[in-house]
Structures are given as structure tokens and as C-alpha cells.
């Protein structure tokens, strides 16, 4: 079968999941960087691959797969390499429970904050007519709405406050559960950790008051261990924006001796 192709953006909330999973499995894949800030995902050549215009997409033979969390299970089942799903039925259940929590509750709130402070400011100074055309080209209404709010800075104070409340609740859940077991699903590193890391990797920088060695020692210890995995460093090599570079700052914040390890 042909070499798999992964269309992706930065190795973060969504694209990071299949990037890390493929690298952890040792899969030789073709990386096709798709610039979200350049609206590559809404250009005709990309829409021919994924008409929904969402990132990432994995092409493996005749299979064209979207939805990053479910993509991880496909990658684990379709390719040889270290298993990324627990053997224990309970731990596999917990892995999927975390997928729902992260995708349905924590992720959208974290994303709103990210779109407000990074994505929107990164594009809103471009030509207004070009931005209007780019927004009109977005296939999914909910994505058009999100881009419109980000570009024109129209997220309400109430929306942002509720997003922050949910993020901080998620942080408390992470800290409590990681006090019970070393990894999100149980005793072994799994897709649950990959999914969580892609959303939580910058929390010590973004939410320094709430995520630090004193207030969230379990979460920081888990982040430190995941950052130490070779696949994580390799995944960030595929990034092209400051989002990937800031991992150096995060590692300094969480290092046991207070310096970059």
C-alpha cells in the first residue's frame, strides 16, 4: 500500500494527535503542511481531498480519514509498532472517556481562547476584502462563525469567561485523575495521553497562575514525562509558527531543576 499522507497544520490540538501517533508507531508518512492561517484548508485543491475543509486529514490507500481523535485509533490498528491503546478493557474505556471529555468539553473552550489571542490577531490585519472572500469560502457554517468572531474580535466577555471557567475545571480534573494513575487511561501511555498533551502542552505558559509545580504537581509531572518522549520533539519539528517554538519556554517552566532539560 502507498505511503500514508497526512495533511496537517501545527502539531497542537488537532493536527498533533495523528502526527504524534504516526511517529510513536514508527510510520513512514508524507507530511503535507496545510497553513491554517493562510486558509489553505479552504482552497480548491484541499477541498478536493476533504470537502468539509477541516484539518487534519489522513490519506491511506483508498481511505480518507478526518476527525483527529478517531484517526488515532485507526493509526494504532492499521500500522505495526508499539500499541497506543491499552489492553485492559477498563483502561480502553477510560481512554475513550477522555476523548469525549477533551473533544466535547475542554477542547472547544481552550480553542476559543486560542482563537481570540493567537489565530485572530495573526490574520486580522490582512486585506479586508481578501479576508471576506476567505470567510465566504469556508464550507461549514460553524467554522465560518468561528473565523468571523476571531478575525473581527467579537467573542463576548461572557463567552471568554465561560471558556476560561471550563478550562480551569478541566485542569482540576486532570490534576485529580493524574493523582490516581501515572497516565490518563491508566498504567501505560496511550492515545488518551496524546490527545490530552496536544491540548495541554502549553498550559504552564498560557495559564501559569493555575498550572505550575506548586498548584498542579501531578499535571506538571505528567507533562514532563510526555515531553521527554522522542516522538514529541520530532512532532514539533513539523511546526512553522511560534506555537511550536514556545515549547522551549514550557519545558523551562516545568523542568525539575528550574532549567531547560
pTM for the full predicted model: 0.91
Q: How far is CA 152 from the centre of its chain?
A: 24
Instruction: Tell me whether the omega of the peptide bond preceding residue 155 falls within 30 degrees of 0, making it cis.
Output: no
What is the DSSP secondary-structure string of 183-245? SSSSSS--HHHHHHHHHHTTHHHHTTTTSSTTT-HHHHHHHHHHHTSHHHHHHHTT--SHHHH
- Rounded Cα distance, 155 and 148, in Å: 9
Each residue's pLDDT, cut to its tens digit, for the chain (261 residues) gives: 789 999 999 998 999 999 999 999 999 999 999 998 888 999 999 999 999 999 999 999 999 999 999 999 999 999 999 999 999 999 999 999 999 999 999 998 998 888 677 766 777 777 788 888 888 888 888 888 877 887 777 888 898 899 999 999 999 999 999 999 999 999 999 999 999 999 999 999 999 999 999 999 999 999 999 999 999 999 999 999 888 888 999 999 999 865 444
In angstroms, the CA 199 to CA 72 distance is: 15
Residues near 88 by beta carbon (within 8 Å), at least 6 away in sequence: 186
Of 167, 191, 177, the closest CA to residue 222 belongs to 177
pLDDT at 261: 45
What H or E segment, with its residue span, contains residue 73? helix 68-78
CATH number of the structural domain 5-78: 3.40.30.10
User: 59 in helix, strand or coil?
Assistant: strand
Domain ranges of the chain: 5-78
pLDDT at res. 215: 97
Provide CB contacts within 8 A for 27, sequence distance 6+.
4, 75, 79, 81
Distance (Å, whole) CA 194 – CA 225: 12
Q: What DSSP string describes 130-152?
A: HHHHHHHT-SSHHHHHHHHHHHH
Residue 50 φ then ψ, to 5° = -135, 95
Amino acid at each position: 500500500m502507498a505511503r500514508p499522507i497526512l495533511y496537517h497544520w501545527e502539531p497542537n490540538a488537532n493536527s498533533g494527535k495523528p502526527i504524534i501517533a504516526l511517529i510513536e508507531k514508527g510510520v513512514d508518512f508524507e507530511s503535507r503542511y496545510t497553513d491554517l492561517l493562510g486558509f489553505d484548508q479552504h482552497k480548491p485543491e484541499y477541498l478536493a481531498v476533504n470537502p468539509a475543509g477541516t484539518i487534519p486529514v489522513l490519506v491511506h490507500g483508498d481511505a480518507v480519514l478526518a476527525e483527529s481523535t478517531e484517526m488515532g485509533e485507526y493509526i494504532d490498528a492499521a500500522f505495526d509498532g508499539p500499541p497506543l491503546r491499552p489492553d485492559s478493557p477498563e483502561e480502553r474505556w477510560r481512554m475513550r472517556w477522555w476523548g469525549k471529555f477533551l473533544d466535547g468539553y475542554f477542547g472547544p473552550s481552550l480553542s476559543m481562547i486560542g482563537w481570540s489571542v493567537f489565530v485572530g490577531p495573526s490574520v486580522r490585519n490582512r486585506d479586508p476584502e481578501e479576508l471576506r472572500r476567505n470567510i465566504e469560502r469556508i464550507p461549514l457554517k460553524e467554522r465560518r462563525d468561528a473565523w468571523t468572531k476571531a478575525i473581527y474580535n467579537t467573542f463576548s466577555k461572557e463567552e471568554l469567561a465561560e471558556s476560561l471557567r471550563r478550562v480551569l475545571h478541566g485542569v482540576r480534573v486532570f490534576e485529580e485523575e493524574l493523582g490516581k494513575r501515572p497516565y490518563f487511561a491508566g498504567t501505560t501511555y496511550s492515545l488518551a495521553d496524546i490527545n490530552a498533551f496536544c491540548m495541554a502542552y502549553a498550559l504552564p505558559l498560557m495559564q501559569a497562575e493555575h498550572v505550575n509545580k506548586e498548584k498542579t504537581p501531578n499535571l506538571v509531572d505528567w507533562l514532563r514525562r510526555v515531553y521527554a518522549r522522542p516522538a514529541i520533539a520530532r512532532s514539533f519539528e513539523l511546526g512553522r509558527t511560534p506555537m511550536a517554538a514556545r515549547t522551549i519556554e514550557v519545558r523551562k517552566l516545568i523542568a525539575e531543576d528550574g532549567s531547560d532539560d
